């Protein structure tokens, strides 16, 4: 590991693709409260709380690989800190599809990102069933832990044992298997509760309906839905993430089309049927939050910049303007039917760049500013600043300054001065989304810890790395007793 704070970052590629792709393997076991041994640094004194992570845990069955890691069944890792000492528990989400496929060790469902059943096109054509793979995010709502996948309902997990309780309607809030986003936001700054979980579900088609839900997530009402609204927009909507301010929920509808024919005919997965449409304009949808000042008012639609966005970082209100930071790609990145995701040519894929949209709600215009040309993803702010102006953002980035490559570094950027510092796990380490946890009673925005699940390509295993959020100094490294493939999102529960 090298601290690159004072060094020039190598602009040339320095990773070995096999070190990176070696993370893609099935997780072999489920462990319970396994104490983690520290390999570098020291336990964090008085640290209490639980780091939760989700991501694909099954990537191969009976010799057949998934076509894209996003098609892998979800596995939850929980690392619970008791006075600084971490204990690991991991469980596959026992979805109906996981249990059926586990029994015969064979894929019997097609994957959204292109995984096909054996037997070629004929065996896949007209099979429109899908498996809720519960692999994208994991959050606490009320007294339950939810494993999320955006196209279907959440799976409830027992918070201690991580045993799967099953698909949940959240006490009747959702219709059975209703779409429930994998990107809920925890709002600590609303007018109505000390903690809200704000989220959405999309029902898409020629017109698309967004259901915006706000749950109380603190005190005696924890888990209760307190605000609920539905708004319908023209056109097909593919909305993976959104952003919130105190008064608005903000969505970016990318200019893409969905042609379902190759999916229906068994040639492609549904997500492989998404294609950018250069003749279309991307749109922002601004939906007034029912907990905010503009409750009950209709939404606003405003033209958005070109490009494709999976993830937003944060948004805040400034007079009549909204400032929104997002990771933009030039085009929708998809692994084509003839490509092997473990051997992709990074140069052929667009890289993510941190950009700021400043949207004037009065004039309905938008200015776009690029923070950095360096490829990055999974950017976060201090959770206390979500929806408000934040000075700092932390993200996973490439080690090299330009071009696409695996994410090997953690970068902290000052969103006002654009100053940045980096910590790199290269050449053989590969990072995941940093989870920023403020220190207890912290008064400064960058006072806290970053938790990173790292793929250590040198020893072909996973590490947990804890960095100081202020200067990105390595505080502690733990070697994990299981190997976890490159994953998706996670959260921290106090
Ligand atoms: Fe995501």
Q: What angle (nearest 5°) sits at the alpha carbon of residue 91, between those of residues 163 and 154? A: 65
Residue 312 is labelled as binding a ligand:
no
pLDDT score of 12: 46
Q: How far is the CA of 389 from the centre of ligand 1 (A)?
A: 22
CA of 490 to the centre of ligand 1 (A): 10
Stated as kind and residue range, the H or E segment containing 261 is helix 261-264
pLDDT band at 3 (very low <50, low <70, confident <90, very high): very low
Give residue 486 CA to ligand 1 midpoint distance, Å: 13
Please answer whether residues 374 and 382 qualify as being in contact, where contact means their C-beta atoms are separated by less than 8 angstroms.
no
Domain ranges (residues) in the chain: 2-21+165-493
pLDDT at 263: 62
130-187: per-residue pLDDT in tens?
889 999 999 999 999 999 999 999 999 999 999 999 999 999 999 988 999 999 999 9
Distance, CA 5 to ligand 1 centroid (Å)?
28
Closest CA to 411 of 369, 353, 358: 353
Of residues 403 and 491, the one with the higher pLDDT is 491
Is 486 annotated as ligand-binding? Answer: no
67 is in an annotated binding site: no
**CA–CA dist 262, 273 (Å, integer):** 7
What is the tally of helices (H) and strands (E) in the chain?
4, 36
What pLDDT does 15 receive?
86
d(CA 379, CA 120): 39
Q: Which residues pair with 5 in a beta bridge?
A: none
Q: Does domain 2-21+165-493 have CATH number 3.10.150?
A: no
The residues, any chain, with a CB within 8 Å of residue 67's CB and separated by 6 or more, are: 111, 113, 114, 115, 116, 269, 335, 337, 341
Put simply, whether the predicted model's pTM sits higher than 0.85 gets the answer: yes
> What tens digit of pLDDT does each residue of 237-285 get?
889 999 999 999 999 998 877 666 666 556 666 677 667 777 788 999 9
Count Cβ neighbours within 10 Å for each residue of 267-293 and write b for 16 or more, e otherwise: bbbbbbbbebeeeeebbbbbbbbbbbe
Provide the pLDDT confidence category of residue 127 given band limits of 50, 70 and 90.
low
**Residue 377 C-alpha to ligand 1 middle, in angstroms?**
10
Angle (nearest 5°) at CA 258 between 254 and 260: 165
The overall average pLDDT reported for the chain is 91
């Amino acid at each position: 590991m090298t601290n690159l704070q004072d060094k020039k970052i190598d602009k040339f590629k320095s990773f070995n693709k096999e070190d990176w792709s070696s993370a893609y393997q099935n997780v072999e076991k489920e462990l319970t409260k396994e104490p983690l041994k520290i390999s570098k640094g020291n336990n964090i004194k008085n640290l209490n709380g639980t780091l939760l992570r989700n991501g694909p845990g099954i990537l191969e069955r009976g010799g057949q690989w998934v076509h894209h890691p996003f098609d892998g069944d979800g596995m939850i890792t929980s690392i619970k800190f008791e006075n600084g000492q971490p204990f690991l528990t991991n469980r596959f989400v026992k979805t109906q599809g996981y249990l059926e496929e586990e029994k015969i060790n064979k894929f019997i469902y097609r994957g959204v990102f292109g995984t096909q059943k054996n037997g070629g096109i004929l065996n896949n054509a007209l099979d429109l069933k899908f498996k809720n793979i519960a692999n994208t995010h994991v959050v606490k709502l009320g007294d339950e832990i939810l494993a999320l996948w955006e196209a279907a309902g959440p799976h409830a997990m027992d918070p201690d044992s991580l045993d799967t309780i099953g698909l949940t309607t959240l006490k009747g809030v959702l219709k059975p298997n209703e779409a429930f986003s994998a990107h809920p936001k925890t709002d600590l700054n609303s007018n109505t509760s000390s903690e809200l979980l704000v989220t959405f579900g999309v029902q898409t088609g020629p017109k698309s309906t967004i259901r915006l839900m706000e749950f109380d997530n603190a005190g005696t009402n924890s888990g209760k839905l307190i605000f609920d609204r539905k708004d319908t927009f023209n056109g097909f909507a593919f909305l993976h993430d959104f952003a919130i301010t105190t008064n608005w929920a903000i969505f970016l509808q990318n200019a893409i089309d969905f042609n379902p024919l190759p999916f229906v005919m068994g040639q492609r997965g549904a997500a492989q049927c998404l294609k950018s449409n250069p003749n279309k304009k991307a749109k922002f949808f601004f939906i007034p939050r029912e907990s905010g000042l503009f409750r009950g008012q209709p939404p606003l639609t405003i033209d958005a910049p070109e490009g494709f966005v999976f993830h937003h970082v944060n948004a805040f209100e400034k007079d009549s303007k909204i400032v929104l930071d997002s990771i933009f790609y030039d085009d929708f990145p998809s692994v084509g039917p003839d490509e092997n995701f473990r051997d992709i040519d990074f140069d052929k894929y667009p890289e993510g760049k941190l950009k700021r949209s400043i949207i004037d709600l009065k004039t309905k215009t938008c200015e776009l500013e690029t923070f950095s040309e360096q490829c990055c993803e999974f950017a976060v702010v201090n959770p206390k600043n979500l929806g408000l102006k934040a000075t700092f953002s932390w993200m996973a980035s490439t080690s090299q300054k330009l071009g696409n490559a695996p994410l090997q570094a953690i970068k902290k950027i000052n969103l006002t001065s654009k100053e940045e510092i980096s910590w790199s796990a290269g050449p053989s380490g590969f990072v995941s989304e940093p989870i920023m946890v403020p220190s207890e009673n912290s008064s400064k925005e960058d006072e806290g810890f970053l938790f990173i699940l790292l793929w250590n390509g040198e020893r072909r295993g996973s590490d947990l790395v804890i960095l100081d959020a202020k200067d990105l100094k390595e505080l502690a490294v733990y070697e994990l007793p299981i190997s976890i493939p490159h994953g998706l999102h996670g959260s921290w529960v106090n």
